[in-house]
Structure 1
């Protein structure tokens, strides 16, 4: 499982059932974490829960001295989780990425749901995108801070 994590001052996601169709905002947070989440074939519920724990306790928020020593758990930061199969795109050869390492939606969606459920169990205020729709993500990256987290 891969997560591209961005510390944001705000982030939002819109969704349309079809490209060009009506768009609605489906998730928004203030200060917190935008998590673009990719799932591969051998990820399971345990992997998803471990990733959620890591994200919730990842120390990337500033303390009183300006050092990144605080976590979302400590700050009460919001979390916006958006599925992102392209995180498993492989563009090492040629010009068209291969997505064979990305899990099929039937496997990926329950894994994303498990991450979201676990974050909520931990006390996170979680917003999400909408699986299998055309989404647009907006954000104001704070720092900027962007990390790739893999479990």
Structure 2
């Protein structure tokens, strides 16, 4: 073998080693990002679970209006665990959410005239009378079983 061939082989080997080292560096960054994302997802899930416990407890203790509580619980459940959200025992939250989806919120609520507000409030009262027991039972189930049984996946 000539000196030039050996030099080219050595240069090629060094290039391969350098590229392998760079690839390893990039993979380590990927793995680090994956760990960070998994940790963030776990923290988010724990935070949502805690928020759901607070809302369900507040709904049961009467510290939160039934309609507002049901809407908030439904939205958090969808983000926490879609399988748990679709459980038949949580159906009342979806029903109340759908039954009030057309109601304006925030500034639009304030912009309504008194007659329209009263009409919506009457509808809220009817929904509460119809679904209070089911919503309370669903909130109790969430606290006692649902949130404890939910898988710990991120």
Fold match (TM-score > 0.5)? no
More strand by percentage: 1
TM-score class, shorter-chain normalisation, is under 0.3
Q: When the two structures are superposed, what TM-score results if normalisation uses the length of structure 2?
A: 0.26
More helix by percentage: 2
